[in-house]
Each structure stands twice: as C-alpha cells, then as structure tokens.
Amino acid sequence: MKGKGRQDFGLLILRLGVGLVMLFFGSQKMLGVFGGMGYAATVDMFHSKMGVPLPLAHLAIFGEFFGGLGLIFGLLTPVAAFGVACTMATATYMNMKTPGALSGIFTGATGADPSHLFFPASLFVAAVTIMILGAGAFSLDNRFFRKNKR
C-alpha cells in the first residue's frame, strides 16, 4: 500500500479508535450502559455538581455519542470531529482545574493521575487531526459526498 492508500487506511484506524472510545463513554451517558448513569442523571450531575449549563450538558452527551458514531462510519466527519474536539477540550479543562491536578502530575504528588489530563487531551488532538485531514476514502462521506464521482 502506497501514498494515498496508506493515508486513507491510517485515517480509518484513527477514526475507528477515537470513535469507539467516544461511543463507549457516550453510551454510558446517553443510554446508561457499560456502568453509566444514563441521560437524565448525567445531565443532572453535569449541571448540579459540575456547574455546566443545561444546554452545554446536553451538547456534551450528544457530542460524545453521535460524534463517536459519526467518526466510526465516517459520516459528517468534520461535524462529528468538531463535537468530539469541543467535548474533549472541555473535559481536559475541567480535569486541569481540579486543585493540584496539573502540578501533581509533574511533582508526583499523591492522588494526581496523569491520565485524567492526558487522555482527554489526546482525544482532542486526534479529533482535531481528523477535522483537518477529513474522513478518507474508507468513509460514508467519501461514498455520498465526494466531489469527483465516477
């Protein structure tokens, strides 16, 4: 496999990896599966305990669940990746503002968990990369929306 084919295959792997992770966590929030609380309880927790405004709580759940599905299938990929990127930027910020989280990562303080910061940050970077590069050839976007149909 050479050139464009390798890039398309790499984009497929990246989309599937990020999409499956997002769908897993989004399913917890949207459907209450995989040990999740479900939609209403998650919205309530985001709003009452984390101070997230209600419209943004709904958008976060939609961004994870439908963003994950969009990335998996390569459908409306820029929109799906944008939703994932926004959600992960917010998750990174919320985790970073936990007292001692950032300094604890670098000083080795007890209770500091680097994955709380770097996991959502990595997903943010991957989503932005997908937004920039697009879905690739192995996607529904390519099937339905490509400009030069033969």
Q: Tens of pLDDT along 37-57? A: 999 999 999 999 998 999 999
pLDDT(10) > 80:
yes
Q: How far is CA 55 from the centre of its chain?
A: 18
The closest alpha carbon to 9, from 147, 148, 139, belongs to 139
Query: Half-sphere exposure of 116 toward its Cβ, with a 13 Å CA cutoff?
Result: 16
In this prediction, residue 16 has a pLDDT band, given cuts at 50, 70 and 90, of very high
pTM of the model: 0.89
Q: Kindly report the average pLDDT of the chain as a whole number.
A: 91
Q: How far is Cα 11 from Cα 92, in angstroms, rounded to an integer?
A: 23
pLDDT(72) > 80:
yes
